[in-house]
Amino acid sequence: MSSINRLTQQLDLHARRQEAFASDAAHELKTPLALLALELDSIDTAARTRLTEHVQNLSQMIDQLLILARCNSALVKQVGDDIEPGAVARRIVAELAPSALDAGRSLSFEEKQPAGFLGLEEAVSAAVRTIVDNAVRATPLGGNVTVIAGPGKCICVVDGGAGLSAGALEKLKARGVRSDSAPGGSAGLGLAIADRIMQVHDGELQTCMPQFAGIRMNFEPAVVAAGFKR
């Protein structure tokens, strides 16, 4: 029994060291990125827009890493928030709708009897934001992305793309694997971070195929979302 306890303590220490490293690395990168963004503002060239987008993508990734470093299963159980999927999804849609319109797409929200659950709202919101942002990129010009809260402890993001098979989704969850719609310069970490956040919440990213194209964020994967219809 003592051997098991020692192993558990070692694993816990290793996990904490990884979290601390991710947090320290992210903090170290934020300052030079902020300075680089200021320098770009003074450049009056056609390349500025593209370079600024790269800096924004890197800054967003660092913010996600900081959230991930603070996110673990024990923390969810100790200080978790009562999360309402409808409220989270509605807020993310309101935040991202203007940029989606600028990109030639639209965002809409639906609610289908969602159920609350315990979690870290900052982390869950970051994961939802990543999935919605990816969906907008995957949707053709003029298309629509619908974010559906429910049924149950689910948030479904339905896009106008070709859809992902279960195998394709698993590949995209791997760190460093980028989708064709990922922005240039992206390291492909966004979906991997969202997947890790789901795991910390005992949830799972699932494909919405074959019903429709999109990703289901299921915070109660033991309950199969069978028969779900839009």
| pTM, entire model | 0.71
Give the end-to-end CA distance of the chain in Å, rounded to a whole number: 51
94-131 pLDDT per residue, tens: 999 999 999 999 999 999 999 999 888 888 998 999 99
Whether the per-residue pLDDT at 216 is higher than 70: the answer is yes
Q: What is the CATH architecture of 78-218?
A: 2-Layer Sandwich (3.30)
User: CATH assignment of 2-70?
Assistant: 1.10.287.130
Strands 144-149 and 204-207: unpaired
CA-based diameter of the chain, in Å?
A: 66
Domain boundaries along the sequence of the chain: 2-70, 78-218
> What is the reported pLDDT for 32?
63
Q: Count Cβ atoms within 10 A of the Cβ of residue 145 and give its class: 0-12 exposed, 13-18 middle, 19 or more buried.
A: buried
27-84 pLDDT per residue, tens: 556 666 666 666 666 666 666 666 666 667 677 777 777 777 777 766 677 777 889 9
Give the position of tokens 């965002």: 107
For residue 201, the tally of other CB atoms under 10 A from its CB is 24
Q: How far apart are CA 227 and CA 229, in angstroms?
A: 6
List Cβ<8 Å contacts ≥24 apart for 178-185: 179/134, 179/137, 179/138, 181/134, 181/137, 181/138, 182/134, 182/137, 183/53, 183/54, 183/57, 183/137, 184/50, 184/53, 184/54, 185/53, 185/54, 185/57, 185/58
Q: How far apart are CA 159 and CA 57, in angstroms?
A: 21
